[in-house]
Amino acid sequence: MLPHVEAFRVADAVGATYVYRRHSLDADLTHDGIDLPEVPGAVDPRLAAVGERLTHGLPGRLVAALPAREQRILAMRFTDEMPQASIAGEP
């Protein structure tokens, strides 16, 4: 006998299958013959505030609460873009 599964879980699973479908960059998304690369994008006005929120918002406060060594490790990894193997060799 199969276990009982709630309908909303089935609906979530079915909906999740569409996440993995990739659309071609050459697909006609506008139905008027215009390809995706030709569709102009728009600047998100919230983008400018991302750096400020990361630095002075919750992530910045959490990093500031870490010991100096752990802050340095994060800086090497994400600011200096050092691979983990190189970070491991640092004093």
pLDDT tens string 22-73: 666 666 666 666 666 666 778 888 888 888 888 888 888 899 999 999 999 9
**What pLDDT score does 75 carry?**
93
Q: Which has the higher per-residue pLDDT, 65 or 10?
A: 65
**What pLDDT score does 67 carry?**
95
The number of residues in the chain equals 91
C-alpha distance from residue 6 to each of 1, 11, 16 (Å)? 16, 9, 16
pTM metric for this prediction = 0.46
Looking at residue 76, the DSSP 8-state letter turns out to be I
